[in-house]
Structure 1
Amino acid sequence: MAADSSVREPTIIKRKKVYKADGHHGGAWKVAYADFVTAMMAFFLLMWLLNATTEEQRKGIADYFSPTIPISRISGGGADGLNGSSIFAENTYAKMGTGANRKETVEHPAYGNGKSESESKSESMTDAAKQNDEQQIANELEDLKESLGEESRQLSEHLMIKMSPEGIVLEITDSESTPLFPLGRSEPSETMIQLIAAVSDSFGEFDNDIKIVGHTDSHRYRNGAVYDNWNLSADRANAARRLLMERGIPAGRIREVSGKADMDPLIKDDPMAAQNRRISITILTN
């Protein structure tokens, strides 16, 4: 029996379901991992810089990244670009106050005050010479005190050396046992005469000018007395001046003679102390 050609076999369609892997959540983890490694590298680089640099270098690095510091005080563009000046305008920069070279720029404080390099070096040399001069004077006075200590401990105890903005101050202080002046009077005692004689020999070793100031304690004269501690301190300073001149110190070296009464005590906690009665001789170094 012949097959019926009109009868067709059913068409079977197979659909395959494809399962696609997500590749370990895609590539996002690689980006996160790269960021983490970069951050760790930056962290270790920072730690290495902190360990390998000095405090001054770290401050410089911090200032560099500070947004408050201007990158440049002058224009680097063309002629008058963005209100700036030409890079060739040397004279214009100097007039602007910023300068166009190292000697005239405010970025270099050594020369930003209007002084040339030679003037700044000259000032540095002057400062060094002043310090050397002060050191020599201080050494001379220390030698004087030591020599007096060998001869008489009583005399060396009257001397005190200290520094001041004007120069080196030699304090000749009083004591209860060996006073420099009689009580309430300006006539020098034998101790004062001996001290001034020793001091004047040391003063002959240098040519600096001298300032003499007299001081008293806080003891007052009787009420109504015309003569007071101001007069007494000034008279004692003048007595010291006369003694120095008698020992050969030229009058031209004595720049100032004054009295401060009890306004500048050496021992502030005890205004009645004997050490407050003193003669201050300043070797001026300015």
Structure 2
Amino acid sequence: MSKKDDNTRPIIIKRKKVVEGGHHGGAWKVAYADFVTAMMAFFLLMWLLNATTDQQRRGLADYFSPTVSLTPVSAGGDGVLTGQSMSGDASMIQLGRGGITQSDANGTAPEDGVLEAIEAAIMGKGGESLLDREDLRHVAVRLTDEGLVIEFFDLPDSPLYDGVEVTPLLERLLASVAGEVRKVPNSVAIDAYIASVPVVERAPQSWEVSSGRGHALRRRLPDVGVSEARVVRVTGHADRRPAATDPMSSRNNRVEIIVLRDTVPLRR
């Protein structure tokens, strides 16, 4: 073969073509990892919703809200689920500063309007409150399907009862709100609760004490112009349904006057 033929011979270059994808590629692994992460986040969210209270969920939401300033008692407490918003009414009540809780009522508009007017007058939503600033710390008001709940509760070193007898403080609180209660003819119910006592106590009397406190308040109603005949129920709940996380907290010593809706059947 001549030298000329060698120079004109075609040169063939073989390049190996790599095809990504299919079962040999890695793109599906990224998609699968994203899916597993999303499912884990979903089930974690479901667990949190089931394992927390409404107040804890509100504190958790406030923690991530840019419109709520963080303070030593607003999130960042003893864990991420124990935060509270200083500006929230529920937190004010929990901390013993009075407040108005969120309404869960589904009543008629006219009746809601009347009960909300009583609520506003007691708490001073539209101006001056019926109670002075110090006494207002013992009061919380909320509108529910059952009616308007006016709650009085203990603060440390400031009890509402001496045993089962009302203190001058509770008498003053009752007299302050009685005028608004007299404005409507609705029936009234009284629910009393007390804080838990240590298990080492020899003879706990939680049921008797809570019932006795409810009846002691009932007997005071005529003194402030509210007919005792309007009372359709007095219930002692002992230390059930505590208002504070600590069952032995003084915040759990409380009594509720419920201005019942006319459309709500009585609980037996």
Q: Tell which structure's C-alpha radius of gyration is larger.
A: 1
Unmatched 5+ stretches in structure 1? 1-126
Shift in Å, 1:148: 7.1
Determine the C-alpha separation between the residues in 2 that align with 1:220 and 1:244.
33
TM-score when normalising by structure 2 = 0.53
- 1:253 counterpart residue number: 230
Shift in Å, 1:136: 1.6
Determine the C-alpha separation between the residues in 2 that align with 1:205 and 1:159.
19
Shift in Å, 1:144: 1.8
Q: How does 1:3-82 map to 2 (within 5 A)?
A: none
Could you tell me which of 208, 222, 228 is aligned with 2:186?
A: 208
Q: Is residue 133 of structure 2 the alignment partner of residue 153 of structure 1?
A: yes
TM-score when normalising by structure 1 = 0.50
1:158 and 1:173 in contact (8 A); partners too:
yes
SS in 2 for 1:235: helix
Determine the C-alpha separation between the residues in 2 that align with 1:138 and 1:175.
26
- 2:109 counterpart residue number: 131
Determine the C-alpha separation between the residues in 2 that align with 1:193 and 1:221.
31
SS in 1 for 2:118: helix
Identity %: 24
Determine the C-alpha separation between the residues in 2 that align with 1:281 and 1:249.
12
Could you tell me which of 235, 238, 254 is aligned with 1:278?
A: 254
Unmatched 5+ stretches in structure 2? 1-104
- 1:66 counterpart residue number: none
Aligned residues: 156
- 1:235 counterpart residue number: 212
Distance change >3 Å, CA 229–CA 257, structure 1 → 2: same
SS in 1 for 2:233: strand
Determine the C-alpha separation between the residues in 2 that align with 1:259 and 1:247.
22
Determine the C-alpha separation between the residues in 2 that align with 1:132 and 1:250.
24
- 1:244 counterpart residue number: 221
Residue 176 of structure 1 aligns to which amino acid in structure 2? P
Distance change >3 Å, CA 163–CA 189, structure 1 → 2: same
RMSD of aligned Cα (Å): 2.4
Shift in Å, 1:165: 2.6
Q: Deviations over 1:39-89 (max 9, x none)?
A: xxxxxxxxxxxxxxxxxxxxxxxxxxxxxxxxxxxxxxxxxxxxxxxxxxx
